[in-house]
Amino acid sequence: MRVLVPIDDSDPARTALEHAVTTHPDATITVLHVINPSLTMYHGEMSYDYERLIDLEEDRSESLFETAREIADEHGASIETETVIGQPSRSIVEFAAENDVDQIVLGSHGRSGVSRVLLGSVAEKVVRRAPVPVTVVR
């Protein structure tokens, strides 16, 4: 079984990963971080060029993956990690379809503040569009 767990730096994303590693201990678990270029530009760092912003976000994703590895290790699980660039809900659904994913486990909402407003519908869109079952963890 292949399980996809999209993550950001939110508590629900960490809870979703904990749920995935405990509920599917024998699965191949892929932790996916989607870099949203429009959100990166929104953070007011427009003085940097696009490539520099993506590099910064990729560095940040490594920090997220390190936390994810620690969570997996605590539960005796191992994970694979992937980073893609794109619109989050579309990228999650496309990744699942293109990589023979059997189940998606994701947090009910993302980060707080303005980002939460922008990302709050990601779970809903993934549930509606995913070609596989989706578990939403609160």
Give pLDDT tens digits for 25-35.
999 999 999 99
Distance CA 131, CA 96 (A): 8
Ordered by start, the domain boundaries in the chain are 2-137
Q: Cα 27 to the chain's mean position, in Å?
A: 17
Residue recorded with tokens 């490594």: 62
- Can you give the pTM of this predicted structure? 0.86
CATH architecture for residues 2-137? 3-Layer(aba) Sandwich (3.40)
Q: Angle at which helices 88-98 and 122-129 pack, to 10 degrees?
A: 30
How many C-beta neighbours within 10 Å does residue 90 have? 14
* Radius of gyration (C-alpha) of the chain in whole angstroms: 14
Query: Tell me, what DSSP letter sits at residue 112?
Result: S
Give pLDDT tens digits for 61-76.
999 999 999 999 999 9
